[in-house]
Amino acid sequence: MKQVRVKAGNAVFSNDAPLVYISGPCVIESLKSYAAAAAALKAIFRKLGASFVLKASFDKANRTSHSSFRGIPMETALAFLKDLKNRLNVPILIDVHEPSQAARVAEAADILQIPAFLCRQTDLLFACADTGKAVNVKKGQFLAPWDMGNIIAKIESRGNRNILLTERGTSFGYNNLVVDMRGLEIMKGFNYPVIFDCTHSVQKPGALGKATGGDVKLALPLAKAAAALKLAGIFFEAHPDPKKALSDGPNSFRLDRVPGIVRTLNQIDKLALKIKKSEDSGL
């Protein structure tokens, strides 16, 4: 079966095309700081000639503690993101947590993202699919990779084939995640673009008591391994100063590390694509 290609703005996702990067801070901490980070990322990816989708979240609805920072009001965020997207001329991905948000978010987003904990919520999947926009579904930490077939079927049933599948780690006992690289190959078997989220994959959920921990030094090794399998994209969160981040700091890359990370992954991706083409031709 032919690989499905999913277009979002000027980015094209396919398991047999060059990597697309999805990146941004975990949450909009302030309009000023987010705009600065977005502009910095745009400049980095433009200089490196890599396709880039800006990641945005206006609400982190599943924080460990009720007292943790969640984000900013949806309407404020969407007006801001729509303007920022146009000014930077970049496609944007936005998290959706409730079916009622989907149509409104689709006015600003090129890709609607289903958080991992919500990946089986049928009404949410239907609402996002009904917008006609691309839908990126993060595989739940509790879900087997082959079970993503049922999620795909839900979205396809609404006439939408603009589907992206993202691996972000699997529950490994308490307060830990592990990445089963077999899952990436299994999900590629659905012929939809597969993305690897290397920073959420090194989270340690709830490990800090009232917050999630993480081990960011393992994120790049995992991303290298995933890129060698020839995927459609790599997702990672980046922050100017992760130690001061209001969400997911322990598993976010420092913004100044991004150029080196992308250069490394691009090199691996080019080799993986060359090998894949050779295998496909029977050489």
283 pLDDT more than 70? no
Per residue in 243-279, pLDDT (tens digit) is 999 988 899 999 999 999 999 999 999 999 999 888 8
Please report whether residue 132 resides in a domain.
yes
Q: What is the mean pLDDT of the chain?
A: 95
Please report whether residue 1 resides in a domain.
no
Residue 276: per-residue pLDDT: 87
Check: CB of residue 52 under 8 Å from CB of residue 197.
Answer: no
Confidence of residue 1 (pLDDT cuts 50, 70, 90): low
Q: What is the CATH number of the domain that holds 166?
A: 3.20.20.70
Q: Which ranges constitute the DSSP H helices of the chain?
A: 31-48, 74-88, 102-106, 122-129, 148-156, 181-188, 219-227, 258-281
Beta-carbon contacts of residue 216 (< 8 Å; ≥ 6 apart): 199, 202, 242, 250, 251, 252, 253
214 pLDDT more than 90? no
Residue 72: per-residue pLDDT: 92
137-165 mean pLDDT: 98
63 pLDDT more than 70? yes
Q: Which amino acid is at 118?
A: L
Domain that holds residue 95: 6-281
pTM as predicted = 0.96
Check: CB of residue 4 under 8 Å from CB of residue 163.
Answer: yes
- Compute the half-sphere exposure of residue 254: CA atoms within 13 Å on the CB side of its CA: 7
Per residue in 161-180, pLDDT (tens digit) is 999 999 999 999 999 999 99
Q: Are strands 203-204 and 11-13 parallel, antiparallel or unpaired?
A: unpaired
Q: How many domains does the chain have?
A: 1
221-242 mean pLDDT: 97
207 pLDDT more than 80? no
61 pLDDT more than 90? no
Residue 48: per-residue pLDDT: 97
Confidence of residue 69 (pLDDT cuts 50, 70, 90): confident
Please report whether residue 141 resides in a domain.
yes
95 pLDDT more than 80? yes
Please report whether residue 39 resides in a domain.
yes
Per residue in 104-145, pLDDT (tens digit) is 999 999 999 999 999 999 999 999 999 999 999 999 999 999
Please report whether residue 16 resides in a domain.
yes
Beta strands in 203-242 (DSSP E): 203-204, 213-214, 233-239
